[in-house]
Amino acid sequence: MLVVDMMDVLKERIKEEEHVEGMKEDHDENEDESEYDEDCRAGISSDQGILLIRTEDIRRYTMKEELILLGTGNATVTRCFNTCFAIKRGEEYFLVDTGGGNGIMTQLEKANIPMEAIHEIFMSHEHTDHLLGLIWLIRMIATKMKKGQYVGNLNIYCHEELKQTILTITKLTVQEKFYKMIGERIFFHPVADGETREIFGYQVQFFDIRSTKAKQFGFTLRLMNGKKFTFVGDEPYQEHEKEYAEDADWLLHEAFCLYRDRDIYKPYEKHHTTVKEACEHAEELGAKNLILYHTEDRNLVDRRRLYTEEGRQYYHGNLIVPDDLDRIEL
């Protein structure tokens, strides 16, 4: 299928859909309607062929896509929340990591994200600043399920080892009546290195970042507008990730601190990067937009300015240093 940025075309297609629906209503019910079904699915010509569009895809393509940074800090921050984010499309959300505790509920509330609108969660790895918020979400969403306040199921994607870790922690800390919702309406979906899953309407390809600390996965996907969105976890980009990160329209990369502050925060011994290295990677990869997160929190007031000033020396694309709860149209 041809993928294009085609908002204007889709508006015209909506008009065509309405016309075709009228044709179908007027058509003799005894005749074969397949020709009308075919018209309803397709009909936009291009020099490269025919672009097939289903009716439900029209709504999908025209929905605004937005990135919401629920947290931007590293594991030990106290002035902002741990790094996690959500992709919003329409009234639904794809949540990526959950921070280190019940602060995730505060961040969701501040961002006006109802738990009832979260049905897809990806967990990258087992570190507490990414994982423990999920235990709270499982508890709270299971409660809503039992009260009839949550429609549908909750799907959690992660690698197999992480699934077992989450199940163990949940079993030890959450009441049995809520834990029993796992397998009934809360489902784990283990993913493998290089595997592609359809999630939230996206074809999401996962990859092992080959962490030196704990097994961790990143992912890449194509947004509905055709743009490439890549999350490389909370450790430095590595060469084996090139196929997933190269030429990304949106690259999300950790930056533990400024390069000038490396002796203070010692990012390298924690297997993290500074702003300098993150920006060098993005420049090399040809990323159009670079989002930096998982930072220290000593000077949040000036963080954006300081990180941008350093990053501009090494990266010439669009550099974004977000604060918690910032929203970015994708």
The predicted-structure confidence for 92-142, as pLDDT tens digits, reads as follows 999 999 999 999 999 999 999 999 999 999 999 999 999 999 999 999 999
- Examine residue 106 and state whether it is found in any structural domain, yes or no: yes
**Residue range of the domain that includes 106:** 63-329
Alpha helices by DSSP H, the chain: 7-26, 34-41, 55-62, 103-110, 128-146, 160-173, 176-179, 242-245, 262-265, 275-285, 300-311
- Residue 274, pLDDT score: 98
Q: The tokens of 185 are what? A: 């309406």
Phi first, then psi: give them for residue 107, nearest 5 degrees: -65, -40
Q: What is the pLDDT of residue 96?
A: 98
Q: What pLDDT digit, counting tens, does each position of 202-249 carry?
A: 999 999 999 989 999 999 999 999 999 999 999 999 999 999 999 999
Beta strand 118-122 pairing with 92-96: parallel
**DSSP, res 117:** G
Residue type, 72: T
Which tens digits make up the pLDDT trace of 270-312? 999 999 999 999 999 999 999 999 999 999 999 999 999 999 9
Higher-confidence residue: 320 or 29? 320
Task: Give this prediction's pTM.
Answer: 0.84
pLDDT band at 63 (very low <50, low <70, confident <90, very high): confident
In this predicted structure, the answer to whether residue 34 has a pLDDT above a threshold of 70 is no
pLDDT at site 29? 46
Query: How many domains does the chain divide into?
Result: 1
298 inside domain: yes
Does any domain span residue 154? yes
Question: What percentage of residues in the chain have a pLDDT greater than 90?
Answer: 81
Residue 220, in any domain of the structure: yes
Residue 33 has pLDDT above 50, yes or no: no
d(CA 95, CA 108): 10
Helix axes 7-26, 55-62, angle to 10 degrees: 150
Q: Is residue 264 part of a domain?
A: yes
pLDDT for res 58: 58
Helix, strand, coil content of the chain in percent (nearest 5): 40, 25, 40
Task: Quickly count: other Cβ atoms within 10 Å of residue 110's Cβ.
Answer: 12
CATH code assigned at 193: 3.60.15.10
What local confidence, expressed as pLDDT, does residue 224 receive? 96
Give me the percent of the chain exceeding a pLDDT of 70: 81
- Across 159-267, where does the E strand assignment appear? 186-190, 196-199, 202-208, 217-222, 228-231, 250-254
Q: Bin 152: left if φ > 0, else alpha if -120 < ψ < 50, else beta.
A: left
Q: What is the mean pLDDT of the chain?
A: 88
Angle between helices 128-146 and 103-110 (to 10 degrees): 70
Q: What is the pLDDT of residues 149-195, one digit of tens each?
A: 999 999 999 999 999 999 999 999 999 999 999 999 999 999 999 99
The reply to whether 117 falls in a domain is yes
Q: Is residue 49 part of a domain?
A: no
- Supply the pLDDT for residue 57: 58
Question: Does the residue 201 lie in any domain?
Answer: yes
Lowest-confidence segment of 3-17, 36-50, 95-109 by average pLDDT? 36-50
Q: In this structure, are residues 293 and 252 in contact, taking their beta carbons and an 8 Å threshold?
A: yes
Q: Which amino acid is at 21?
A: E
Per-residue pLDDT band at 40 (split at 50, 70, 90):
very low
Q: Which DSSP helix (H) or strand (E) runs through 156?
A: strand 154-158
Alpha carbons 164 and 171: distance in angstroms, whole number: 10
Sequence-ordered list of residues with C-beta below 8 angstroms from that of 266, at least 6 positions apart, any chain: none
